[in-house]
């Protein structure tokens, strides 16, 4: 038996539910993935094997609070999780960042709170004022993406910039860019610093000078090392020649001694 939707020309099969697993226009609830939900659910367009059929446009992605932050969005204050999952104790290396976000957002350590985009609003961060970088309670800036930077600041992911900023007495904050799992533990990953935008050029200019100095020092070290190796090679060659001469003429050994 085939039931036809009154809103379109698509015919819903009563038996082939697998046709809806990856269908571009329609789906049934049993094929909705772990981090998805039907919203708004509304009325079914038809039925397949007793399963209501919904338009694919009703399938909405769900993320944790931290995942939405990466998109420059924050969950509203009154936001209630639309789905709560039990978090597996086994961490998948391909989803380490997501697994940590789920862990942090859960009501308990083994639970995961998920939210839909309709529960979010544009991220509102404090503005940098008088050269001071707004920091979180840990004294750092969570740079999940460039959209997470406080207005008036910039991320400098370059070597030695923290040392330069400290020498120049410029306020900065460590940039926490994510998490990694090592030995069964979730550890934060830092990538240099966040500073106010007006100090960017000055810090980069001084950093370039330090970098040039380091390059020159490395080049000189290599040259000096090459010189030492060449001297050792010459000394070894001289010793080898003297040994050969002594072996070829026994009178040479008598005269030398």
pTM above 0.85, yes or no: no
> Regarding predicted confidence, which is higher, 247 or 8?
247
Of 107-111, 114-118, 194-198, 226-230, which range is least confident? 107-111
pLDDT of 172: 97
d(Cα 20, Cα 52) in Å, to the nearest integer?
A: 11
H or E element, residue 80: none
Residue of 138, 192, 191, 139 lying closest to 162 (CA atoms): 192
192-250: pLDDT as tens digits: 999 999 999 999 999 988 888 777 878 887 887 877 888 888 888 887 777 666 666 66
Quote the percentage of the chain above a pLDDT of 90: 40
Nearest to 156 by CA among 169, 168, 143: 143
Beta bridge partners of 3: 12
Q: For the chain, give the number of residues.
A: 257
The 10s digit of each residue's pLDDT in 41-98 is 888 888 888 889 999 999 999 999 989 988 889 999 988 999 999 866 554 444 444 4
**Stretch 159-184: mean pLDDT, rounded?**
90
| Residue located via tokens 């008036």 | 152
Structure tokens at 9: 């020309």
Q: What's the whole-number mean pLDDT along residues 31-36?
A: 93
Angle ∠(188,192,194) on CA atoms, nearest 5: 100
What residues have CB less than 8 Å from 196, skipping those under 6 apart?
128, 131, 132, 133, 152, 153, 154, 170, 171
Q: Which residues contact 44 (CB under 8 A, 6 or more apart)?
A: 52, 53, 54
pLDDT for 89: 53
Residue of 222 and 100 predicted with greater confidence: 222
Q: Which residues, 6+ apart, have CB-to-CB distance to 106 below 8 Å?
A: 84, 87, 112, 113
């Amino acid at each position: 038996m085939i039931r036809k939707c009154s809103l379109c020309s698509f015919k819903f099969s009563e038996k082939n539910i697998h046709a809806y697993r990856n269908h571009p226009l329609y789906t049934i609830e049993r094929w909705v993935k772990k981090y998805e939900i039907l919203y708004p659910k509304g009325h079914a367009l038809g039925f397949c094997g007793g399963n209501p059929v919904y338009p694919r446009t009703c399938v909405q992605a769900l993320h944790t609070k931290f995942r939405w932050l990466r998109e420059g969005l924050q969950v509203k204050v009154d936001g209630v999780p639309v789905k709560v999952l039990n978090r597996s104790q086994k961490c998948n290396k391909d989803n380490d960042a997501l697994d940590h976000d789920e862990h942090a957002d859960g009501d308990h350590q083994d639970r995961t709170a998920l939210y839909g985009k309709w529960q979010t609003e544009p991220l509102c961060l404090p503005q940098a004022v008088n050269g001071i970088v707004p920091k979180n309670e840990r004294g750092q800036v969570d740079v999940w993406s460039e959209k997470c930077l406080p207005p008036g600041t910039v991320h400098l992911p370059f070597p030695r910039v923290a040392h330069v900023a400290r020498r120049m007495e410029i306020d900065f904050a460590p940039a926490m860019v994510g998490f990694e799992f090592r030995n069964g533990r979730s550890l934060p990953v830092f990538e240099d610093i966040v500073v106010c935008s007006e100090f960017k050029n000055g810090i980069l200019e001084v950093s370039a000078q330090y970098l040039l100095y380091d390059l020159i020092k490395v080049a000189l070290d290599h040259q000096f090392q090459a010189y030492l190796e060449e001297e050792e090679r010459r000394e070894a060659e001289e010793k080898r020649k003297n040994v050969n001469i002594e072996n070829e003429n026994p009178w040479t050994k008598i005269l030398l001694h």
